[in-house]
């Protein structure tokens, strides 16, 4: 395993994410299989384990805590996250953090993270996301933000794979229901609609013949 130093800690470059743990037929996390996965990860030298309050409807922290507590505390680093994506939690830090310690059975966390951080004023100014734009909605939003001179930061996660195409996810549904013609139409539309802050309720008509649009991609 390759390690990198961070804050005087030697972290494995490959971490173990607990957002998509194996599940049983009833939807609960398969603890036995997770235990085997962690054992294998430990054998390969992985010492960074990442969970969060909202993963698996709260089960992830519990299961990862049970499994990791079978190992010496100094043999791994655990990170979890504050659910800042839900603004109603912003005044509940002192309430949520102890619960996370309790759920995991940990005395402390090595890393405490949050995500989805942005200025509400920027989000409102740009118009947020438009429900009527079925595909490329983030692309359309980023075009609007850039057009207004707002900075958008993206932090890459090396070696990270997000299972967006999991069964019944939006990507999975669109892959089976949206053909290439419609997908291109939404993409071209996003390059026209980003100048408008309001949602203009665009719809796609499969029976209409749309003219081909020239020009380079944004």
DSSP string of 29-47? Answer: B-HHHHHHHHHHHHHTT--
Sign, CA torsion 131/114/37/62: negative
pTM: 0.62
CA 162 to chain centre: 7
* Dihedral pair phi/psi, residue 153, rounded to 5°: -105, 135
State the 10-residue block means of pLDDT for the chain, 218 residues long: 91 94 94 98 97 94 98 96 80 91 95 74 73 73 74 50 55 78 85 84 82 49
| Predicted local confidence at residue 137, as pLDDT | 65
| Predicted local confidence at residue 151, as pLDDT | 63
CA 188/CA 204 separation, integer angstroms: 12
Pick the CATH number of 3-114 from 1.20.120.430, 3.30.360.10, 3.30.300.180, 3.20.20.100: 3.20.20.100
| Predicted local confidence at residue 157, as pLDDT | 44
**DSSP letters spanning the chain:** --EEEETTEEEESS-EE-SS--B-TTSSB-HHHHHHHHHHHHHTT--EEE--TTGGGGHHHHHHHHHHTTS-GGG-EEEEEE-TTSGGGTT-HHHHHHHHHHHHT-S--SEEEE-----HHHHHHHT---TT--SSHHHHHHHHHHHTT--------TT----TTSTTSHHHHHHHH--HHHHHHHHHHHHHHTT-SS-------TTS-PPPPPS---
| Predicted local confidence at residue 143, as pLDDT | 77
| Predicted local confidence at residue 159, as pLDDT | 45
| Predicted local confidence at residue 25, as pLDDT | 93
CATH 3.20.20.100 range(s) for the chain read 3-114
Asked if residues 52 and 80 have their Cβ atoms less than 8 Å apart, the reply is yes
For 10, residues 6+ apart whose C-beta sits below 8 A from its C-beta are 3, 4, 47
Name residue, tokens 């995500």. Answer: 115
Name residue, tokens 């957002």. Answer: 19
């Amino acid at each position: 395993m390759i390690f990198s130093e961070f804050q005087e800690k030697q972290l494995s470059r490959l971490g173990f994410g607990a957002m998509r743990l194996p599940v049983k037929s009833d939807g609960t996390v398969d603890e036995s299989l997770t235990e085997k996965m962690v054992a294998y990860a430990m054998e390969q030298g992985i010492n960074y384990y990442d969970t969060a309050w909202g993963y698996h409807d709260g089960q992830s922290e519990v299961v990862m805590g049970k499994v990791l507590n079978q190992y010496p505390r100094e043999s791994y680093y655990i990170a979890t996250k504050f659910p800042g994506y839900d603004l109603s939690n912003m005044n509940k830090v002192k309430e949520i953090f102890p619960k996370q310690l309790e759920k995991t059975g940990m005395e402390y966390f090595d890393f405490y993270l949050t995500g989805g951080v942005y200025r509400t004023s920027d989000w409102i100014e740009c118009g947020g996301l438009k429900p009527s734009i079925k595909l490329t909605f983030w692309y359309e939003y980023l075009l609007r933000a850039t057009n207004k001179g707002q900075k958008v930061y993206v932090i890459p996660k090396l070696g990270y794979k997000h299972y967006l195409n999991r069964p019944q996810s939006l990507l999975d549904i669109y892959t089976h229901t949206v053909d290439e013609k419609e997908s291109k139409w939404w993409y071209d539309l996003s390059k026209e609609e980003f100048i408008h802050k309001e949602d203009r309720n665009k719809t796609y008509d499969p029976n209409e013949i749309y003219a081909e649009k020239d020009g380079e991609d944004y």
